[in-house]
């Protein structure tokens, strides 16, 4: 049994940022991670050409800036290097291959009791802690929708987290399901590598340029969001024209307010829209069923595909191992309270990186959590 002051679950950017903020106050902590490395999603499950969608000033973790010569939009490999330097700078030593099995609040002892599986040694480890930080992410496990007949599909079926490059799909008919940033970027990558690419776009989406989003986030510090949204939508309409005739509808709510209210991001165009306009990438509506290699769409059209890529996001697995967290998380493992009060529950439980506010949200959560823990410790010892 190991008794610790703070236990952080997850060594992605949220866990690392929280660890760094705690170390600024010299608060001892232990950080556990089920994978064999930190930030495994970025390291192992991100496609090769990925860049951060937001300008670097919105993507820093607390207490460490990017190098001065870093580009405005940080590529994946440079971000991973930044995280490695971050781990070194703050001397963060995660216990890797340690998967939390259960976590419950002990009312008598007024502490959290955690059982974890040390996968390297095949043993169980037990912790007790006053403060528990859930930093295991909303992107814990792949979300693939249940489509009738999907199991009968003979070709490649992969989730976007396994997608690396379109090289191996040249000349093949590939369907991308999901029109968020991952889906649109993967469709572009496939098409530029010579795949006959189609993409399912079901929901309305805001298509923006990365410069427009940077402008919007900068203006949002000074101006009302509805005004910023009006400017962004006008500019996007000017740049892209009316996309509804290509199967892309714009939501009624503006991009900044939509992000604030639902966590849904605008799509930052990397060239996909141009290829859709030229007919190189074909837009499809919802799938009704799959029969072998034939995909039937809701319009009744049937098309044969060699591969399907699901860019349908992730879901949180927190509720599987975390009990007694009803004060903080809902049934989907996401915060009950609205941003910016989402990061704290009762009995010393916190969550970092679940506010759907990207890396800037992670940095804010980490600072809030460390400040709150130091004030609670101060009150206990005072």
In whole angstroms, give the CA distance from residue 353 to residue 62.
13
Query: What are the chain's domains?
Result: 2-140+316-380 (3.50.50.60), 143-310 (3.50.50.60)
CA dist list (Å): 103 to 36, 45, 129, 286: 21, 27, 10, 40
- Tell me the whole-structure pTM to 2 decimals: 0.86
Query: Is the peptide bond between 291 and the residue preceding it cis, with omega within 30 degrees of 0?
Result: no
| Cβ proximity of 4 and 30 under 8 Å | yes
Query: From first to last of its 382 residues, what are the pLDDT tens digits of the chain?
Result: 899 999 999 999 999 999 999 999 999 999 999 999 999 988 887 777 788 888 999 999 999 999 999 999 999 999 999 999 999 999 999 999 999 999 999 999 999 999 999 999 999 999 999 999 999 987 667 889 999 999 999 999 999 988 988 999 999 999 999 999 999 999 999 999 999 999 999 999 999 999 999 999 999 999 999 999 999 999 999 999 999 999 999 999 999 999 888 888 999 999 999 999 999 999 999 999 999 999 999 999 999 999 999 999 887 778 888 988 888 988 878 889 888 889 999 999 999 998 888 899 999 999 999 999 999 999 987 6
Paired sense of beta strands 156-159 and 307-310, if any: parallel
Q: 308, 175 in Cβ contact below 8 A?
A: yes
| Residue-level pLDDT at 127 | 97
Q: What is the pLDDT of residue 356?
A: 80
């Amino acid at each position: 049994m190991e008794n610790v002051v703070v236990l952080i679950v997850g060594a992605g950017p949220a866990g690392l940022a929280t660890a760094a903020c705690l170390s600024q106050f010299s608060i001892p902590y232990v950080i556990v991670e089920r994978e064999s490395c930190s930030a495994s999603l970025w390291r192992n499950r991100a496609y090769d050409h990925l860049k951060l969608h937001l300008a670097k000033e919105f993507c820093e973790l607390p207490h460490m800036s990017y190098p001065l010569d870093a580009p405005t939009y940080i590529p994946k490999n440079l971000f991973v290097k930044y995280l490695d330097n971050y781990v070194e700078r703050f001397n963060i030593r995660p216990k890797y291959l340690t998967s939390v099995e259960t976590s419950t609040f002990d009312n008598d002892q007024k502490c959290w009791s955690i059982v974890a599986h040390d996968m390297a040694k095949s043993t169980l480890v037990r912790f007790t802690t006053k403060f528990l930080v859930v930093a295991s992410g909303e992107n814990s496990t792949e979300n693939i929708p249940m489509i009738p007949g999907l199991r009968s599909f003979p070709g490649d079926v992969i989730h976007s987290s396994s997608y690396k490059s379109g090289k191996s799909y040249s000349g093949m008919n590939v369907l991308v399901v999901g029109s968020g940033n991952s889906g649109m970027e993967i469709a572009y990558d496939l098409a530029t590598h010579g795949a006959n690419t189609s993409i399912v776009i079901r929901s309305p989406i805001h298509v923006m340029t990365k410069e427009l989003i940077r402008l919007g986030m900068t203006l949002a510090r000074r101006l009302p969001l509805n005004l910023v949204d009006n400017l962004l939508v006008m500019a996007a309409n000017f740049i892209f024209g009316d996309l509804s005739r290509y199967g892309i509808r714009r939501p009624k709510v503006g991009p900044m307010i939509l992000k604030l209210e639902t966590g849904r991001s605008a799509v930052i165009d990397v060239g996909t829209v141009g290829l859709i306009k030229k007919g190189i990438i074909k837009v499809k509506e919802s799938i009704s069923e799959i029969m072998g290699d034939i995909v039937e769409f809701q319009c009744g059209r049937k098309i044969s595909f060699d591969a399907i890529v699901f860019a349908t996001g992730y879901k949180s697995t927190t509720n599987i191992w975390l009990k007694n967290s009803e004060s903080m998380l809902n049934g989907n493992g996401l915060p009950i309270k609205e941003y910016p009060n989402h990061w704290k529950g009762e009995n010393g439980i916190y969550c970092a990186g679940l506010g759907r506010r990207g890396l800037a949200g992670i940095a804010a959560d980490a600072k809030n959590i460390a400040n709150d823990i130091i004030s609670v410790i101060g009150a206990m010892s005072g």
